[in-house]
Amino acid sequence: MTTADRSPGVPPATLVLAAQRAGRKLTTTAKRAVHFLLRHEDSAWVWAARTAAVVPLVALVLLITVLAWKAWPAIEVNGLGFLTHSKWDTGNLYGAVTKTHGVSHPAGASYGAWPLIAGTLESSGIALVIALPVSIGAAFAMTERMPRAVSRVIGFFVELLAGVPSVIIGLWGALTLGPLLARDVYPIIARHAPQVPVLRYLRGPTGVGEGLLTSSVVLALMIVPIIAATTRDLLKQVPDLPKEGARALGMTDWEVARRVTLPWVKTGVVGATVLGLGRALGETMAVAMVTGVVLGSTARNVYGTMTTIAATIVSQLDASFTDATGFAVRTLAEAALVLAVITLLVNVGARLLVRRSAGTALPVGRGI
């Protein structure tokens, strides 16, 4: 057996069997090479697989470590008040430099990230409330109601929407969507919202199209393709037999969807939702263009201007380099560390939820 006899991707054991069946004799060198490959092929594959599995973990640990190292001086100065205070003041960048706990910073510098944290959680939560039913409804329509040709076309455009750069969506939101909503939609909602503790948040001045609700709508448009495309692929994998059996027992299409189809794919839907939520939490340019980037205060109503952690970092990074002490940059690193921790907590919580739901039996026939 020569080198030319070996085809790419063919295991050496297969070549040995083929050569023996053909009555060909293997040279001593070929036998040694085959035995060497047989001994080391599995170990090489295991080593490569383990390396590939460890690389993301190492990257995550290095990312958190670098952020914590860069942010540690700011953590010492800002303390736990960084998470609860609202004031965001860089201090006198051209005046005297003071030291706190041995860390140099401009006089009067004071940072509080609570408005950033609240804006991040509020905008992502509202975006998820908007996007989740739209995404699941679109997935059901593409798999259950539309002809296959129409479903393919719409599915293509849904996936294409996921590839649109965020800066383009942000520019469209700032120039077109935001003013349109502020002029034609928000006033109607504000006038007719009930005066109850929760819905009262929908009343008040509607602004000019920059704010929390506009940011949430833009984020929803950005995460709908992720959730919808994943849910559509999951729904295609649901067997027809349970659905046909449920219909034979007298269930309506709505009951089949609610009691058979959705429980069958609920674990995957949770995973897709977490992917969309992660995109919403970390979105930067699109949100920075429609929030108004107001530091130091939270939105007074759902239309009010605000900011998020990611939008603050991208909008303040250039100005922070004018701080000769580097304290402003370290504070932004602390904000990035907070965002990373929030994202990790969301993913860990979703993982626990998926594990819990995956262990339950499918509720086929429940309520009959």
pLDDT tens track for 245-298: 888 888 888 888 888 888 888 888 888 888 889 889 988 889 999 998 888 888
Mean pLDDT, range 301-318, rounded to an integer: 91
pLDDT of residue 95: 79
Mean pLDDT, range 15-25, rounded to an integer: 51
Confidence of residue 340 (pLDDT cuts 50, 70, 90): very high
Cα–Cα distance for residue pair 350/354, rounded to 1 Å? 6
Lowest mean pLDDT among 110-114, 120-124, 134-138, 157-161: 157-161
Confidence of residue 348 (pLDDT cuts 50, 70, 90): confident
Mean pLDDT, range 13-22, rounded to an integer: 51
Record the tokens describing residue 212, joined without a space.
Answer: 């929390």
Query: Residues near 330 by Cβ (< 8 Å), separated by ≥ 6?
Result: 70, 71, 72, 73, 74
The residue ranges of every structural domain in the chain are: 1-44, 110-358
Confidence check: pLDDT of 120 > 90: yes
The pLDDT tens digits of the residues spanning 189-224 come to 988 888 887 788 888 888 888 999 999 999 999 999
288 close to 174: Cβ distance less than 8 angstroms: no
pLDDT of residue 353: 76
Record the tokens describing residue 86, joined without a space.
Answer: 């609202």
CATH superfamily of 110-358: MetI-like (1.10.3720.10)
Confidence check: pLDDT of 19 > 70: no
Confidence of residue 358 (pLDDT cuts 50, 70, 90): low
| Phi then psi dihedrals of residue 282, to 5 deg | -100, 0
Spatial CA neighbour of 126 closest among 352, 301, 314, 347: 301
Lowest mean pLDDT among 38-47, 122-131, 244-253, 271-280: 38-47
Confidence of residue 365 (pLDDT cuts 50, 70, 90): very low
pLDDT of residue 25: 55
Query: How high is the mean pLDDT of the chain?
Result: 83
Q: Could you tell me which residue, 362 or 65, shows the higher pLDDT?
A: 65
238 close to 139: Cβ distance less than 8 angstroms: no
SS3 174: helix
Confidence check: pLDDT of 3 > 50: no
pLDDT of residue 6: 47
Confidence check: pLDDT of 134 > 90: yes
Biggest CA-to-CA distance, the chain: 90
pLDDT of residue 31: 61
Record the tokens describing residue 113, joined without a space.
Answer: 């990230």
Cα–Cα distance for residue pair 173/181, rounded to 1 Å? 10
The pLDDT tens digits of the residues spanning 73-117 come to 999 999 888 999 998 988 888 878 888 888 888 888 889 999 999
pLDDT of residue 50: 82
Q: Could you tell me which residue, 164 or 42, shows the higher pLDDT?
A: 164
Burial bucket for residue 192 (CB in 10 Å: 0-12, 13-18, 19+): exposed
pLDDT of residue 293: 84
Confidence of residue 159 (pLDDT cuts 50, 70, 90): confident
pTM of the shown model: 0.81
